[in-house]
Amino acid sequence: MLKIQVTHSYFLAYDPKQWERGKPYPPLATIQVAALLRRMGHAVALFDTMLADGVEAYERSLPSVEPDVVVLYEDNFNFLTKMCLDRMREAACRMIASARARGARVIVAGSDASDHPEAFLAAGADVVLIGEGIAALVQLIQRLDHSPAIDTQGWVAGVSGISILDGGESRTIRLGIQPPDAQLAGLPAWDLIDIERYRAMWRERHGYFSLNMTASRGCPFRCNWCAKPIWGNHYLRRDAGEVAAEMSYLKHTFRPDHIWFADDIFGFRSDWVSQFAERLLEDDGSVPFTIQTRADLSTEPMAAALERAGCAEAWIGAESGSQRVLDWMAKGTRVTKLIDARLRLGAHGIRVGFFIQLGYLGEQLSDLLATRELIALAAPDDIGVSVSYPLPGTRFYEQVKTQLGDKTHWRDSGDLAMMFRGTYDSAFYRGIRDLLHEQVTVQQSRDSGSPESRKRALAALDARWDALIASERLHRNPDATPAPEPSRNHVVPLRRVAAAQNH
């Protein structure tokens, strides 16, 4: 039996925007791995960095655990790990060095490590898992359990889907992107989480407590900018009854007021969501929940099934109000569908949020104004705004990689800096973001404010839009990257997606 410390490197304290937002979730993928290692018979401890003060707190944990192995396994369900933020990579590297200094073997896994294993190997990691890496992890742990003194060469011999240092150089033994591993099943190790710390922060900041779950791993769509170093275009959905049983367990054990489903695409088919709803009703297990989905999946049967299951809020990756930008992104949706989906879900009592992306290749002022129009017409309950962020492995990244300078990642999630030669500078997009947020605020105040005060607010907002639009030439990049060719062939036809998910 090995002493294994499982951890990750996302420190809320190192991300000012998220700290301010104050909505921390336990690291789901990390505690799924902890549960798997425990089922294999090992003594597993968790160091959860989410609410820790900093790397020093991690270092202080090491003498009491004295792990044989540290598995630094990022929470692949936390979208911030996809962004590979600089501050978290620095934290991971310091944690690796500290664990190695205490004599532990170190295995690392996550989006950033899959893209840039050399950075983590240079910090002292023995092995980087490429992608989800569960098969390789299980193999490595079994070997070490059998031969605790095995040298690194013997330990990793014949294992695929990993990266190691070989003669001072990183060497990756590729396996190709693998489907989500079926060994990662069952309840995550919820007992290792200090639930009360999470509850305290949520209650203090928001007056309620939210926990997270997942019903699937992966997404079969192929939006040009969406990085998928972990599951590629695979999609594996859990059994509806099993997901309902987990929600019921969380409800009766930890009493959350709300559940956030971290899936890229929740449910996918209305018949699955209907089964989920029926099981929840049988078990009295329903907790109001939030999902992420797509406009084209938000059909009438889906909206009805979501309502029955207790869905309170759905976030849609709307991205843009300009059809040509959606086509450049290979988003596979129509602007009209975005509005339809918003109305349909709203009619079933489900709040709707739109994720908006500014600054995609080729996007012009007219496209940005089309997005303003979309927000005015669809009137979502909330929006989240970001700028296009080229991540390795995406078609978008390939189109702009020669323009990336020293800055290839945001330092933290509030950075919102342009990293390629877009149409406008970062300040212009930050201005657009602020006005879009304000527009939603004014739209949402429709019922509360008097007609006069709302009229005044709208007039003030229009004036600010006019001022920003008038300044656009000052922010325009003379050397902007031209628009790409539309790439509809990257859109997966929905009927193929429906077939693929059943495998």
Residue 248's CB is within 10 A of a number of other CB atoms, namely 18
CA 95 to chain centre: 22
| Number of residues in the chain | 503
Rounded Cα gap, residues 416 and 424, in angstroms: 13
- Per-residue HEC secondary structure of 159-220 comes to CCCEEEEECCEEEEECCCCCCCCCCCCCCCCHHHCCHHHHHHHHHHHHCCCEEEECCEEECC
CB of 221 to ligand SF4, least distance (A): 4
Chain residues binding ligand SF4 by CB under 6 A are 219, 221-223, 226, 264, 294, 317
Helical residues (DSSP H) of 451-493, grouped into ranges: 451-470, 472-475
Q: Which is nearer to ligand SF4, 264 or 327 (CB)?
A: 264
Q: Which is nearer to ligand SF4, 216 or 270 (CB)?
A: 216
CB of 228 to ligand SF4, least distance (A): 7
Rounded Cα gap, residues 497 and 235, in angstroms: 9
CB of 108 to ligand SF4, least distance (A): 24
Q: Residue 328: what are its φ and ψ, rounded to 5°? A: -60, -35
CB of 320 to ligand SF4, least distance (A): 12
Q: Check if the beta carbon of residue 387 is closer than 8 Å to that of residue 357.
A: yes
CB of 462 to ligand SF4, least distance (A): 32
Q: Which is nearer to ligand SF4, 67 or 180 (CB)?
A: 180
Residue 33 host element (H or E): helix 28-39
Q: Which is nearer to ligand SF4, 211 or 226 (CB)?
A: 226
Q: Which is nearer to ligand SF4, 110 or 256 (CB)?
A: 110
Residue 499's CB is within 10 A of a number of other CB atoms, namely 11
CB of 501 to ligand SF4, least distance (A): 13
In this structure, what token pair is assigned to residue 184?
């990662």
CB of 361 to ligand SF4, least distance (A): 16
Q: Which is nearer to ligand SF4, 280 or 295 (CB)?
A: 295
Q: Which is nearer to ligand SF4, 74 or 263 (CB)?
A: 263
CB of 225 to ligand SF4, least distance (A): 8
Tell me the residue number closest to ligand SF4, measured at CB. 226
DSSP per-residue letters across 8-19: ----GGG-HHHH
Q: Which is nearer to ligand SF4, 283 or 382 (CB)?
A: 382
3-state secondary structure of 435: helix
In this structure, what token pair is assigned to residue 392?
């390795």
